[in-house]
């Protein structure tokens, strides 16, 4: 493999013009958690799919590594290449067009560089909903969302990025363009290349555009935070909510007292839902069709849940402002976590019915390692918890750097024992390649390596991501 050097730059300029390369600003070499620092090679900003194809072909000819770059918001280092020959960073930021909206078909076609929030807005302008929703939506780009199969708060009802995509246009490692931007709900002609590229984190090709599913906008949104007796009670409440309300339950987020305490400590402007922070609570969101009262539905749910001893207190939003206030409790917990500073963060999933035991045993395993604080919260309805471990009050995370590996190992071992995943929604990137080797299924790993070699025989696409040896 060869570096993206000045000679390669001249080849690119000769082929595609001077405008396509830009200096590599530092932001392209950083990632949000600052665990990885990328190398500066070249930065290309193509304007068309044909230019992406030409860049990949050129890189393939001279075997220069290519790192596809979206919004740079990924949390596992998939977007920065830390060693090996300096890469060609291929940013899709100039390809941000919404190519078309088909309201009758509930379909929107966006280029890979379109910012998620812009897609949400375009859907809303057509009186439709694009439900992918996550903290980075103001800066992440749909190509990256798909390459990492992003999750977020609406997975419970609408699925993750994978489930929201009908078709792709992509440049394969050979430089060939796959024109797979279908507007079809059903198409059984051949292998599922779309889902193979989704979640492959730029190692099997560059997504250049996507055909996305839109949904009716729920006529009425209801939001509440209920105190629950325990994680078990939270799970029973979810089942009860679905019995009452079917798939209209669009979010079901677990909140632990530790998160509320952190908010009180470092973000005191966030209005707390209860006078005394409860040990466990859940944020519920309903999206109901026209003619239904979300507040009444949530009140009825509360009454039924209280009768079963599942909930003890609750706040139901009565206005859009209250809806926003309740959501900000949930959404600002990650910010509070960052301000406190975790020793180790984990994006894990376990089978839903095993969550209570996992939380119990996880607490014991962490306590055995030291007086750490655990903030366990997140997408309970999906079995996806963010399990973050913090230093004792008054201490800084850096004091515990040497314990990070042991903490991570303890949590991930337990997740594996519980038949869970050590990367529920963030992906593998460069952070979890070792975990994939340790916990991954051997037959699947063999198949993954065979697929990688078959589609990218020259090994140029995002080397070191997902498979450390590829």
Min. distance of Cβ 309 from a copy of itself in angstroms? 17
Q: Which range, of 159-167, 307-315, 335-343, 363-371, touches a copy of itself by CB under 8 A?
A: 159-167
Given 33, 35, 180, 279, the residue binding a copy of itself (CB under 8 A): 180
Q: Which window, 60-68, 130-138, 156-164, 274-282, contacts a copy of itself (CB under 8 A)?
A: 156-164
In the list 177, 234, 301, 333, the residue contacting a copy of itself (rule: CB under 8 A) is 177
Q: Is 126 in the site for a copy of itself (CB under 8 A)?
A: no
The tokens for 423 are 């990367």
Q: Least separation, in Å, of the C-beta of 326 and a copy of itself?
A: 22
In 10 A of CB 307, how many CB atoms? 9
How far apart are CB 264 and a copy of itself at their closest, in Å?
30
Task: Report the residue number, 419 or 469, with the smaller CB distance to a copy of itself.
Answer: 419
Give the count of beta carbons closer than 10 Å to the beta carbon of residue 179: 12
The token duo for 232 is: 């078990």
Does residue 307 belong to the site contacting a copy of itself (CB under 8 A)? no
Contacts of 436 (CB under 8 A, 6+ apart): 428, 445, 466, 467
Among 58-66, 377-385, 386-394, 397-405, the segment contacting a copy of itself (CB under 8 A): 377-385
Which span sits near a copy of itself by CB under 8 A: 42-50, 56-64, 178-186, 364-372?
178-186
User: Of 6, 18, 26, 189, which one interacts with a copy of itself (CB under 8 A)?
Assistant: 189
Q: Applying CB under 8 A, which of residues 2, 11, 139, 174 lies at the interface with a copy of itself?
A: 174
Going from the C-alpha of 138 to that of each of 114, 223, 384, 457, the distances in angstroms are: 10, 22, 23, 36
Rounded to whole angstroms, the Cα distance separating 52 from 297 reads 50
x/- letters, 401..440, toward a copy of itself (CB under 8 A): ------------------xxxxxxxxxx---x--xx--xx
Nearer to a copy of itself, 315 or 414 (CB): 414
Total binding residues for a copy of itself by CB under 8 A?
Answer: 94
Judged by CB under 8 A, the chain residues 247 through 306 that form the site for a copy of itself are 247-248, 287-290
HSE of 437, CA atoms in CB hemisphere, 13 A: 12
448 binds a copy of itself (CB under 8 A): yes
- What's the closest the beta carbon of residue 36 comes to a copy of itself, in angstroms? 18
Q: Under DSSP, is residue 203 helix (H, G, I), strand (E, B) or coil?
A: coil
Interaction of residue 384 with a copy of itself, rule CB under 8 A: yes
Determine if 84 is a binding residue for a copy of itself (CB under 8 A): no
Q: For residue 455, state whether it binds a copy of itself (rule: CB under 8 A).
A: yes
Residues 19-78 that bind a copy of itself (CB under 8 A): none
Where does this chain touch a copy of itself (CB under 8 A) — which range of 32-40, 112-120, 155-163, 274-282?
155-163
- Please list, residue by residue across 374-411, b when 16 or more beta carbons sit within 10 angstroms of its beta carbon and e when fewer do: bbbbbbbbbbbbbbbbbbeeeeeeeebeebeeebbebb
For residues 202 and 68, the answer to whether their CB atoms sit within 8 Å is yes
Name the token pair of 34: 């600052």
Q: Counting contacts by CB under 8 A, is residue 368 touching a copy of itself?
A: no
Q: What tokens does 286 get?
A: 């309903």
Site for a copy of itself in 313-352 (CB under 8 A): 349-352
Element (H, E) at 147: helix 142-147
**246, 164, 236: which is closest to 199 by C-alpha?**
164
- The conformational region for residue 389 under phi > 0 = left, psi -120 to 50 = alpha, else beta, is beta
Looking at beta carbons only, is 144 or 391 nearer to a copy of itself? Answer: 144
In DSSP terms, which residues pair with 385 in a beta bridge?
Answer: 348, 378
Give 168 or 263: the residue with its C-beta nearer to a copy of itself: 168
Strands 88-91 and 42-44 turn out to be parallel
> Which one, 45 or 297, has the nearer CB to a copy of itself?
297
**Residue 83 burial by Cβ neighbours in a 10 Å radius (0-12, 13-18, 19+):** exposed
User: What is the number of alpha carbons within 13 Å of residue 426 lying toward its C-beta?
Assistant: 28
Q: How far apart are CA 459 and CA 470, in angstroms?
A: 6
Residue 265 vs 293, nearer CB to a copy of itself: 293
Report the nearest approach of a copy of itself to the CB of residue 48 (Å): 16
């Amino acid at each position: 493999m060869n570096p993206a050097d000045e000679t390669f730059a001249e080849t690119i300029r000769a082929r595609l013009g001077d405008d396509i390369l830009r200096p590599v600003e530092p932001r392209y070499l950083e990632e949000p958690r600052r665990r990885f620092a990328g190398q500066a090679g070249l930065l290309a900003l193509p304007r068309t799919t044909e230019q992406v194809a030409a860049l990949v072909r050129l890189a393939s000819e001279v075997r220069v590594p290519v790192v596809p770059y979206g919004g740079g918001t990924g949390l596992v280092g998939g977007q920065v290449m830390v060693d090996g020959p300096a890469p060609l960073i291929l940013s899709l930021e100039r390809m941000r067009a919404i190519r078309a909206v088909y309201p009758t078909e509930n379909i929107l076609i966006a280029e890979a560089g379109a910012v998620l929030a812009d897609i949400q807005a375009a859907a809303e302008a057509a009186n439709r909903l694009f439900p992918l929703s996550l903290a980075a939506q103001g800066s992440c780009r749909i190509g990256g969302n798909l390459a990492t199969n992003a999750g977020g708060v609406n997975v419970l009802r609408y699925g993750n990025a994978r489930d929201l995509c009908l078709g792709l246009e992509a440049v394969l490692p050979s430089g060939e363009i796959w024109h797979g931007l279908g507007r079809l709900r059903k198409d059984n002609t051949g292998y599922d290349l779309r889902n193979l590229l989704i979640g492959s984190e730029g190692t099997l090709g560059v997504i250049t555009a996507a055909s996305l599913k839109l949904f009716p906008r729920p006529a009425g949104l209801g939001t509440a935070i209920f105190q629950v007796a325990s994680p078990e009670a939270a799970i029973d409440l979810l089942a009860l909510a679905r019995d009452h309300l079917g798939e209209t339950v669009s979010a079901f987020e677990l909140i632990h007292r530790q998160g509320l305490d952190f908010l009180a400590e470092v973000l005191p402007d966030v209005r707390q839902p209860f006078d005394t922070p409860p040990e466990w609570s859940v944020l519920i969101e309903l999206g109901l069709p026209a003619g239904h009262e979300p507040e009444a539905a949530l009140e009825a749910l509360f009454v039924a849940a209280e009768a079963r001893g599942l909930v003890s207190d609750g706040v139901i939003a009565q206005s859009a402002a209250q809806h926003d206030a309740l959501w900000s409790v949930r959404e600002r917990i990650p910010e509070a976590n960052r301000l406190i500073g975790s020793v180790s963060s984990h994006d894990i999933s376990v089978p839903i019915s095993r969550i209570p035991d996992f939380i119990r045993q996880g607490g014991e395993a962490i306590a055995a390692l030291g007086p750490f604080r655990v903030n366990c919260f997140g997408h309970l309805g999906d079995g996806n918890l963010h399990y973050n471990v913090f230093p004792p009050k008054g201490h800084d995370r850096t004091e515990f750097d040497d314990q990070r590996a042991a903490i991570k190992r303890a949590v991930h071992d337990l997740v594996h024992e519980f038949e869970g995943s050590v990367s529920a929604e963030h992906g593998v990137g460069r952070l979890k390649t070792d975990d994939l080797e340790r916990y991954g299924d051997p037959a699947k790993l063999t198949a993954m390596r065979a697929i990688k070699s078959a589609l990218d025989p020259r090994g140029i696409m995002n080397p070191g991501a997902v498979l450390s040896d590829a």
